[in-house]
A and B are shown apart, each in its own frame.
Chain A
Amino acid sequence: MRERPSIESLLELFADGKVSAAARLITILEDGGKDAERVLDSIFQRTGNAYRIGFTGPPGAGKSSLLNRVTAKFRAKDHRVGIIAIDPTSPFTGGAFLGDRIRMQAHSEDPDVFVRSLASRGSLGGISNCTDEVVDLMDAFGKDLVLIETVGVGQSELEISEKAHTVVVVLVPESGDGIQAMKAGLMEIGDIFVMNKADHEDAEGAAREIQDTLRLKDIPEGEWEPKVVLTSAREETGIDDLIDVIEEHRRHLDEGGRFANMRKKILRSRVRNALMDRMERRLRASDKVRELLEQRMESVYRGEMSPYMVVRELEELVSIQ
């Protein structure tokens, strides 16, 4: 039951705009390996047109509901929207319950909205390891906006900041006071902070505290000052303001080559990460390395060699010029 059409035929159908082919190619990208690389190699030239907006924040802040509202506004502006919604994989069973789509079903019959749920599959950074590749695929499929919803994060799952052009941090009045907002991590990566559930009586005060804390930041002249926006996904308020601020941030990036630099930085880090990944896999797969490691570990157990002595010896074995 598992056979699927050849990659060539999927790529052809994909080029013709077939959603089912795009969806199956995403699965191939998720599964990784040589097939995934082949897919990426052949679509990569068609990428580079999509603007990526990341939505992150604690669980239950209303990210999916907000995305649903934002998507409607972007559609009204004729954007073609791809959505990648990530939920966590269980480290115990490997299973995942992907429930973001439930809030977005209003768009399920719109051919210009493509929603894909991804499980984080062991990645600890709040997204999935194949997020970049899936964005590329949606990009090559003609989506000019890709919205990425991270898993519900705590303070330190920040990988989205290396993937998105605009990062929206979604908070709620219960997310904590100004002291929480001063902490490192999540509060440092937002270009825009959304205080969602603005219908809550504490929302305005909470938004003000965030704003006050952000003012403490030393931002160089001319650089982007993070903005705070009050929204209510339920009451549908503030969504236009959010869209305006996102567009303002995008215009800011377009000035003075900032966007081009950011794009280069993102690509550079992708190549570096992929290389590290590959090297690690090759090291793990190498019999020579494993044999030497096993031998030397005995000496380490006996206290005759330090861990670094073994590492130096292994380093010589795999020597990279």
Chain B
Amino acid sequence: MARKVRVLVAKPGLDGHDRGAKVVANALKDAGMEIIYTGLHQTPEMIAESAVQEDVDVVGLSILSGAHMTMFPRVMELMKEKGAEHIVIFGGGIIPAEDVEKLEKIGVARIFGPGTDTGDIVKFIRERFPEE
């Protein structure tokens, strides 16, 4: 059987705006991927452990609270600790351009801002994990 791309979609931190995360999760599902959705109020520890247990290829994090400079680095660090640094991490939400640069420097693969076409996110994942 062909390998399926597995993607964890989660919302770290305290903001309760999960519309964006759901739109992205739905688009990826419709593109034939398996989405593990863990929803709101996730700690970096929950996210990293879930990503490991679920053996996902990709983690998508949506943050609109402004806590991105705390959340992303912590998740990256925990992934490394758990031996899961192979997992591709991308993000979305309200993230200023200068922070995007910093995040990409520490290994976040891509930040998708407001107004992103979901097709671009599908393409971003497919480029890394072509359908077999």
Contact status of A20 and B83, CB under 8 A, knowing A32-B1, A95-B29, A97-B29: yes
Please tell me which one of the listed residues A1, A32, A96 contacts residue B29 in the complex, with CB atoms under 8 A apart: A96
Task: Check B83 against A101 for contact (C-beta < 8 Å).
Answer: no
Does B50 count as interface, using CB distance less than 8 angstroms? yes
Task: Check A95 against B53 for contact (C-beta < 8 Å).
Answer: no
Task: Check B28 against A33 for contact (C-beta < 8 Å).
Answer: no
Task: Check A119 against B49 for contact (C-beta < 8 Å).
Answer: no
Task: Check A93 against B1 for contact (C-beta < 8 Å).
Answer: no
Task: Check A109 against B49 for contact (C-beta < 8 Å).
Answer: yes
Task: Check A1 against B57 for contact (C-beta < 8 Å).
Answer: yes
Q: Closest CB of chain B to A17's CB: distance in Å?
A: 13
Instruction: Say which size band chain B's interface belongs to.
Output: 35 or more
Task: Check B36 against A101 for contact (C-beta < 8 Å).
Answer: yes
Whose C-beta in chain B lies nearest to the C-beta of A83?
Answer: B53
Does A306 count as interface, using CB distance less than 8 angstroms? no
B49-68 vs A: 1/0 string, CB under 8 Å?
Answer: 11011110100000000000
Task: Check A115 against B46 for contact (C-beta < 8 Å).
Answer: no
A94-108 vs B: 1/0 string, CB under 8 Å?
Answer: 111111011001001
Contact status of A96 and B52, CB under 8 A, knowing A32-B1, A33-B1, A102-B39: no
Task: Check B29 against A93 for contact (C-beta < 8 Å).
Answer: yes
Contact status of A23 and B54, CB under 8 A, knowing A93-B29, A95-B32: yes
Q: Closest CB of chain A to B6's CB: distance in Å?
A: 8
Contacts of B94 in A (CB 8 A): none
Task: Check B52 against A105 for contact (C-beta < 8 Å).
Answer: no
Task: Check B31 against A1 for contact (C-beta < 8 Å).
Answer: no
Does A121 count as interface, using CB distance less than 8 angstroms? yes
Interface hub of B35, B45, B55, B82 (most chain A Cβ within 10 A): B55
Task: Check A94 against B32 for contact (C-beta < 8 Å).
Answer: yes
Contact status of A109 and B46, CB under 8 A, knowing A94-B4, A116-B53: yes
Task: Check B53 against A1 for contact (C-beta < 8 Å).
Answer: no
Task: Check B32 against A117 for contact (C-beta < 8 Å).
Answer: no
Task: Check B54 against A93 for contact (C-beta < 8 Å).
Answer: no
Contacts of B52 in A (CB 8 A): 19-20, 23
Q: List 23 A-B contacts (CB under 8 A).
A: A1-B128, A1-B129, A2-B3, A20-B84, A23-B55, A24-B55, A26-B55, A27-B55, A30-B1, A31-B2, A89-B34, A93-B29, A93-B32, A95-B35, A96-B29, A96-B34, A99-B39, A105-B39, A108-B50, A109-B46, A109-B49, A114-B53, A117-B54
Which A residues form the contact surface with B (CB < 8 A)?
A: 1-2, 18-20, 23-24, 26-27, 30-33, 89-90, 93-99, 101-102, 105, 108-109, 114-117, 119, 121
